[in-house]
């Protein structure tokens, strides 16, 4: 099972469009081109979202397989992690079906989304046995408590725990406070002492928050999914420019 990259780029997410930034990738081809540019600046992982013909978020196995195939040609050493983000459109069973249909090397899954309809009996163990790296998306202390409950229950394997600590997603104006990261890291160390973790942060304090993540021994997810602005406050030129800034940390 591959560890988390030191820097993973999240170039588009589920909601933003080219109206937000003209360099935000929408199509498979644009996403791959962006990933290659970000690899050159220091990102060794791609957090991939795909869009339908209208540019809307979709969980589509065929499109994900296309991204993975194109990345294998254009940037074969870059880890491709797919997402199961629901955006209020997909059920946990549909999210699990996507992972089984794609069989990716890596996937990110919000624990609160996956368990929103109750416990999941075998999925996490199946993914572990299939050598699929599951990164648990954790927004707050309640999510960490939920992760602990599932580990203690035996429904989530204790080996190779990967996590993403998310700052600012549900705050007013999606403002991320770097001071909130250390308590989450401390709680994670109690839940899963050997966890391989990264952080991401919404809004213009993204760089400050990711610097804090590195200082605390973690890794980083950066990109237009979470923030469009450079550290000095101006609109970033593209995802590769944001990766370059974080790589310099």
Contact criterion met (CB below 8 Å) for 158 and 131: no
Tens of pLDDT, residues 119-157: 999 999 999 999 999 999 999 999 999 999 999 999 999
- 56 is a domain residue: yes
**SS (HEC) of 65-121:** HHHHHHHHHHCCCCEEEEECCCCCCCCHHHHHHHHHHHCCCEEEEEHHHHCCCCCCC
CATH code at position 16: 3.20.20.70
Residue 228 exposure: Cα atoms within 13 Å on the Cβ side:
13
Q: Residue 25 falls within a domain, yes or no?
A: yes
Show the tokens assigned to 35.
């990933």
Looking at the domain assignment, is residue 2 inside a domain? Answer: no
Proportion of the chain above pLDDT 90, given as a percent: 96
Residue 1 lies in a domain: no
24: in domain? yes
Q: Is residue 66 part of a domain?
A: yes
pTM > 0.85: yes
Under-70 pLDDT residues of the chain: none
Q: Total domain count for the chain?
A: 1
The residue range of the domain holding 226 is 7-247
Cβ 239 vs Cβ 215: under 8 Å: no
Is 16 within the bounds of a domain? yes
């Amino acid at each position: 099972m591959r560890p988390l990259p030191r820097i993973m780029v999240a170039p588009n997410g589920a909601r933003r469009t080219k109206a937000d930034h003209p360099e935000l990738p929408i199509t498979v081809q644009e996403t791959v081109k962006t990933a290659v540019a970000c690899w050159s600046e220091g990102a060794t992982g791609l957090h991939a979202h795909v869009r339908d013909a209208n540019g809307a978020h979709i969980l589509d196995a065929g499109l994900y397989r296309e991204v993975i195939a194109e990345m294998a040609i254009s940037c074969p050493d870059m880890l491709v992690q797919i997402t199961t983000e629901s955006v209020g459109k997909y059920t946990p069973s549909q999210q699990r079906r996507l992972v089984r249909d794609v069989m990716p090397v890596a996937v990110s899954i919000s624990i609160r989304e996956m368990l929103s309809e109750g416990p999941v009996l075998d999925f996490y163990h199946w993914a572990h046995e299939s050598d699929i790296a599951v990164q648990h998306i954790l927004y707050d202390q309640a999510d960490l408590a939920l992760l602990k409950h599932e580990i203690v229950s035996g429904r989530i394997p204790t080996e190779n725990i990967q996590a993403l600590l998310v700052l600012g997603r549900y705050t007013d104006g999606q403002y991320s406070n770097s001071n909130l990261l250390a308590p989450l890291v401390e709680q994670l160390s109690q839940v899963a002492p050997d966890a391989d973790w990264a952080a991401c942060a919404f809004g213009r304090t993204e760089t400050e928050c990711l610097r804090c993540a590195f200082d605390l021994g973690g890794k980083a997810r950066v990109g237009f999914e979470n923030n469009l602005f450079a550290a000095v406050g101006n609109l970033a030129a593209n995802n590769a420019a944001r990766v370059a800034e974080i790589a310099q940390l």
